[in-house]
Amino acid sequence: MNEIIFGKAQKEKIVSIEAHDDIVEIFYEHSPGQITHECIPHRSWLLSSQKLDDKFARLKGDLHYKYGRQFLTREEFVKARSYYRHKDIFSIWNAKESCAVKDGYSSFLGMNPQDVSLLSFDIETTGLDPHKTDAKVLLISTTYRAGNKIESKLFSYDQYNSQGELLTDFCLYVYEKNPSVLLGHNIFCFDLFYMSEIGKKEGIKLLLGRDGSDAKFENYEKKFRVDGSRDLHYTNCLVYGRELVDTLFLSIRSDIGRKYNSYGLKKIIEQEGWELPGRTFYDAQTIRFNYTNPVEWEKIKKYCKEDALDAITLYDKFIPPFFYMNQSVAKGGFQNLLQSATGSQLNTIMMRAYLQQGHSLPKADEGYPFEGAISYMKPGIYNNAFKIDVNSLYPSLMLEYKIFPHSKDPKEYFPFIVQYFYDERLKNKKLAKETGEEYYSHLEQSQKIQINSLYGFMGAPGLLFNHIQGASEVTKKGRDVLKFTIEWATGESYECWKT
């Protein structure tokens, strides 16, 4: 496998990594449900443009951040980062991503989505606010899948003496099944936080980690972009040794054409026609009023049980392109990748290509506005029309005119990455058409996302390997191509045609 694209570690079947002070614990899933782990030496790191103290070592090459220091403990790293915060330094705060970039790890190499065990869960409650005196979790429905093995289990409040017993039993079940992925719909904005707050009232923690540890909630709010005018505000949750996938975020990320009227679980299932035969429906707004009615309670339980299956349906439909992106992107796992922008994902490939060799890294260019593409039309009714499309126009222009950050990328890894994903995408698109196999289609979709993001990556501020001037040059070349095409198709000059 190519070290630039997949990292130098070349370890297959990684499903999760956890960075500690001096080791990284890596979890493997050799076959569905069969988990092993190993511990490998690890150091947190900090880069600087100058030698800040005697412990900073000179890196290879002569890019901007040419000095690096490694730390025995996370605490030492945090202290140094704070002490030198007014200096010209660079580091990656997320420990998983930091480790993957420096040491060349990638997730899911040698795997397909069905090779990874998962557990889907959904909760029903008496309301939206867990702090109310009558707030409680009524039901937790789960579906566990490992290969062809599927098991569903429902945790019902009336089977336990307390909410604490209910949540504890659920956590024990997760620990017993030991899935690599925990998933659900809207779990970051609701389910996980609600269960955690109910647990606090009961004096218990959500012990969902592979090591029996509790779920950790970050102490700051994050934003997930829905579109240009909306963000979802949420508190990120981390579970040791497992990746959390929120199918709400996954649905938004997959809806490139913005075809969905709503991102509600059942709304998407209904719009796509993915309902299970005989699916039970129930008005979720009435559950808190009807759960004490024995007849209605049986309907509610059946309805809740099938919600966990619906989340798996969304996962199976939407996850493949992002799954295969994990094999090259150095974000340190599924969860980080799904919560990050594609520009930062591609930046990690470039950073890993250099840093895993002990090479210096460049500094991000300042952003500035530049002219974009041409978007113009002449309203009217046309009897004869045809469509002209270019296979990946912007990446093609980058390759044709060798547009990449020359001074930042002396080893020319960026054009290599563009060429690799460009060639692979066309190859897999052809294979998908010839064979009809979804595997090639999924690979092609993953590679399409990556090559279509390469231009955006160059023009994004704050990324070490960005190239604002190059992004401007790409759009100029693109406008030239479109102007030529318009003049060829209309027989008029572009300026005359436009008026």
Residues 374-429 have pLDDT tens digits of 776 778 888 887 777 777 788 889 999 999 999 999 999 999 999 999 999 999 99
Answer yes or no: are the C-beta atoms of 104 and 7 closer than 8 Å. Answer: yes
Q: What is the pLDDT of residue 306?
A: 78
Instruction: Give the amino acid at 453.
Output: S
How many angstroms separate the CA atoms of 194 and 130, rounded? 6
**Using 50, 70 and 90 to split pLDDT, how confident is the model at 367?**
confident
| pLDDT of the residue at 376 | 67
Q: What is the arithmetic mean of pLDDT over 147-161? A: 95
CATH 3.30.420.10 fits 113-322, yes or no: yes
CA separation, residue 489 to residues 40, 386, 483, 484 (Å):
61, 10, 10, 9
Which ranges constitute the DSSP H helices of 274-329?
287-290, 294-318, 320-325
What confidence tens digit (pLDDT) does each residue in 211-245 have? 999 999 998 889 998 887 788 999 999 999 999 99
Name beta bridge partners: 294. Answer: none
What was the pLDDT predicted at 393?
85
Strands of the sheet containing 118-125, edge to edge, are 149-156, 137-146, 118-125, 181-184, 243-246
Q: Are 392 and 422 in contact (CB under 8 A)?
A: yes
The residue that leads in pLDDT, 486 or 73, is 73
Using 50, 70 and 90 to split pLDDT, how confident is the model at 304?
confident
Q: What average pLDDT does the segment 320-327 reach? A: 94
User: Is 475's pLDDT higher than 80?
Assistant: yes
pLDDT of residue 32: 94
Count Cβ atoms within 10 A of the Cβ of residue 418 and give its class: 0-12 exposed, 13-18 middle, 19 or more buried.
buried
- Rounded Cα distance between 235 and 136, Å, is 21
Separation of alpha carbons 341 and 462, rounded Å: 12
The pLDDT of residue 489 is above 80: no
Rounded to whole angstroms, what are the CA distances from 9 to 19, 43, 356? 15, 15, 9
Which of the four pLDDT bands, split at 50, 70 and 90, describes residue 368? Answer: confident
Residue 18's pLDDT is: 95
**Confidence label for 496 from pLDDT (cuts 50, 70 and 90):** low
Q: What is the mean pLDDT of the chain?
A: 92
Cα dist from 318 to 108, 169, 249, 254, 386, whole Å: 16, 30, 11, 6, 31
Residue in this structure with the two tokens 């029309």, named with its chain if needed: 385
Question: Bridge-partner residues for 201, per DSSP?
Answer: none
The Cα 108–Cα 100 span in angstroms is 13
Gap between the Cα atoms of 116 and 144, Å rounded? 11
pLDDT at 372: 79
Q: So what's the pLDDT on residue 88?
A: 97
**The pLDDT of residue 41 is above 70:** yes
Q: Where does the pLDDT of residue 484 fall: very low under 50, low under 70, confident under 90, or very high at 90 and above?
A: confident
Q: pLDDT at position 436, please?
A: 93
Structure tokens at 338: 């799904």
- Has residue 1 got a pLDDT over 70? no
Q: Tell me: the pLDDT tens digits for 306-321?
A: 778 899 999 999 999 9
Q: What's residue 497's pLDDT?
A: 59
CATH T-level assignment (fold) for domain 3-110+341-354: DNA Polymerase; Chain A, domain 1 (3.30.342)
- Using alpha carbons only, how large is the chain's radius of gyration in Å? 25
Domain residue ranges in the chain: 3-110+341-354, 113-322, 364-498
Pick from 86-90, 118-122, 398-402, 490-494: least confident: 490-494
Q: Check residue 281 and give its pLDDT.
A: 82
Tokens 């593409």 identify what position? 373
Three-state DSSP class for residue 104: coil
pTM score: 0.90
- Please choose, from the candidates 268, 466, 476, the residue with its C-alpha nearest in 3D space to the C-alpha of residue 364: 466
Sequence-ordered list of residues with C-beta below 8 angstroms from that of 409, at least 6 positions apart, any chain: 350, 362, 465
Q: Which helix (H) or strand (E) holds 146?
A: strand 137-146
Under a CB-based contact definition with an 8 Å cutoff, are residues 475 and 370 in contact? Answer: yes
- Candidates 41, 35, 42; CA nearest to 16 is 35
Asked if pLDDT for residue 154 goes beyond 90, the answer is: yes
Q: For 38-99, what is the HEC assignment?
A: EEEECCEEEEECCCCCCCCEECECCCCECEEEEECCHHHHHHHHHHCCCCCEECCCCHHHHH
Beta bridge partners of 231: 225
